[in-house]
Amino acid sequence: MSIFDNPNFSSNGNVIMACHISGVYDVNRNETLHDDSYELVRAWAESIANKKLHGIIFHNNFSAETCRKYENDYISFIRVDYNPAFNPNVYRYFVYRDFLEKNVGQFDHIFVTDISDVTLVQNPFTEAFFTENPQSIFCGDEPKILNNEWMNEHSTHLRNNIPDYANYEKSSGEETLLNCGIIGAKAPLFFEFIQQLCDIHERGNRENKTAFTGDMGAFNYLVRTKFNEQLKHGAPVNTVFKGYEDDRQDCWFRHK
């Protein structure tokens, strides 16, 4: 990923990043995303630009024409090569890790989010809840507990490959289910976190051929076992997941 050596963007120290991988079957949408469809990322990009924050879209298939058309003072595009050893939901974390290995010093604070179902509502970097908790990991959540049928099925591959995963599920089963569609922190802490998350996927989620991506399982496992005391989730970080709270303005991110 030599393009990461000299990325073409400027930043005020804060950045929101997302990854859009197309041409690969999307298990969440049950379809293969079209290669050059900007509409899938338009709402995300416009919500960030409207707040005059900097956003980076990592992608594998947007045309040069599309990138030129939609790149502006706030939104940058960086092309990456997709590695099929990991599904797109997981591969994005390796993209962030590799990018930050060369560029983390350029940033003070970082958020990464889903791109097709998340939009920015408020600037998190100036909110007191963010600035007054500099050692915290901020993330989304869902109105359910970890011990639910979907997560139990989702985590089968991880459970079979990570020795203490079942013990974690037992001890944390009644905790709120965290959602990895929104993650943020001070840049050094975020980089440390994303390195550990990639290590988990390399050890326990490579060549996952199940119907489940493993991104939610690995994320909840890492946070609950290593960063639980630093955790901040739910409002004001995110609206209620799948609550479709389109009029709500008191949270940083709207997640469906």
The pTM is what?
0.94
The reported pLDDT for the residue numbered 1 is 39
Share of the chain above pLDDT 90, in %: 86
Mean pLDDT across the chain, nearest whole number?
93
Q: For the ranges 28-32, 113-117, 170-174, 178-182, which has the lowest average pLDDT?
A: 28-32
Share of the chain above pLDDT 70, in %: 93
State the CB neighbour count (10 A cutoff) for residue 110.
26
Helix axes 215-226, 187-204, angle to 10 degrees: 120
**How far apart, in whole angstroms, are the C-alpha atoms of residue 83 and residue 62?**
17
**What would the pLDDT profile of 153-208 be if each residue is shown by its tens digit?**
999 999 999 999 999 999 999 999 999 999 999 999 999 999 999 999 999 998 88
Among residues 202, 199, 200, 188, the alpha carbon closest in space to that of 230 is found at: 188
The residue type of 180 is C
**What would the pLDDT profile of 215-244 be if each residue is shown by its tens digit?**
999 999 999 999 999 999 999 999 999 999
Which residue in the block uniquely carries the two structure tokens 């922190």? 185
**How far apart, in whole angstroms, are the C-alpha atoms of residue 182 and residue 254?**
10
**How far apart, in whole angstroms, are the C-alpha atoms of residue 228 and residue 22?**
33
> Do residues 188 and 141 make contact, with C-beta atoms less than 8 angstroms apart?
no
DSSP track, 86-108: S-HHHHHHHHHHHHHHHHGGG-S
Is 3.40.190.10 the CATH number for 2-255? no
**How far apart, in whole angstroms, are the C-alpha atoms of residue 174 and residue 72?**
44
Kindly list the domain boundaries of the chain, sorted by start residue. Answer: 2-255
